[in-house]
Structure 1
Amino acid sequence: MSIAYVVVTLLAAAMAGFSAASVFLRAKWVVEPLADYGVPRSWWTLLGSAKAAGAAGLLVGLFVPVVGLLAGVGLVLYFAGAVITVIRARSYAHIPFPLVYAAPVVGALVLGA
């Protein structure tokens, strides 16, 4: 296990965890766009839980690699879905935001391979 892999995985987990906490705490800069995109309010806690589980899975993956792999794939799919949601809402200026969160996850997957 390389130092780069550990650092990038920790960064990815921290970013996903921060994103989850932002949803749980109903940060205005997160929930207003969700409402604008048409994401039902009843989904918000589930979406935050998915990100939190992904963050935890990445951390566990440092010790149990298959868990990290599955968590990383799950987070990449989650953020791909976020990009699709933003595109469907025609909020093109917001496309970079989920990509910024997905980038370290992809990096962790590549370095872990």
Structure 2
Amino acid sequence: MFAAYFTVTILASLFTGIAAVTYLIGHDYPKAQLDMKRLPHSWMPMLGMFLAAGSIGLLAGFIVPLLGTLAAAGLVLYFTGALIAHLRVGSRQLVGWAVFFSTVMATLAMNLNYHGYL
């Protein structure tokens, strides 16, 4: 059970960490996503910090389990907001969102199960 929990958590932390870096360095892809969703570019650092905090929180969860669970729940909320932003503008390009959302949702489920919160 630990191997699955560890693998899913590391994968989610890696995905969200890479996404955080792209937002924080001002890469063109997040800019295009914000333009498509009609959101201001001034939100990029804030969104990047949310992703970075979630990524670090997942890793910190190996030491403080509740922190990892809360980070996973926060990332689920973050990507729920991303879905709402997509649907608000009529975007049906949800493959990237689905990959991120399913990864953080699996991480939350593994955290809850592994630590006996369920």
TM-score of the superposed pair, with normalisation by structure 1: 0.93
Unaligned runs of at least 5 residues, structure 1: none
CA–CA distance in 2 between the matches of 1:15 and 1:30?
Answer: 14
CA–CA distance in 2 between the matches of 1:64 and 1:43?
Answer: 30
- Give the stretch that moved more between structures: 67-76 or 33-42: 33-42
Shift of 1:110: 1.3
C-alpha contact (below 8 Å) 2:30/2:44 kept by paired residues:
no
Aligned residues with identical type, % of pairs: 37
Structure 2: which amino acid aligns with 1:67? L
Counterpart in the other structure of 1:18: 18
CA–CA distance in 2 between the matches of 1:49 and 1:86?
Answer: 20
C-alpha contact (below 8 Å) 1:22/1:30 kept by paired residues:
yes
TM-score of the superposed pair, with normalisation by structure 2: 0.89
C-alpha contact (below 8 Å) 1:87/1:95 kept by paired residues:
no
Q: CA RMSD in A?
A: 1.2
CA–CA distance in 2 between the matches of 1:83 and 1:96?
Answer: 11
Shift of 1:96: 2.2
Counterpart in the other structure of 1:32: 32
Could you list the structure 1 runs, at least 4 aligned residues long, displaced by more than 6 angstroms after superposition.
none
Counterpart in the other structure of 2:2: 2
Shift of 1:64: 0.7
C-alpha contact (below 8 Å) 2:20/2:49 kept by paired residues:
yes
Residue pairs, 1:1-113, within 5 angstroms: 2-92=2-92, 94-113=93-112
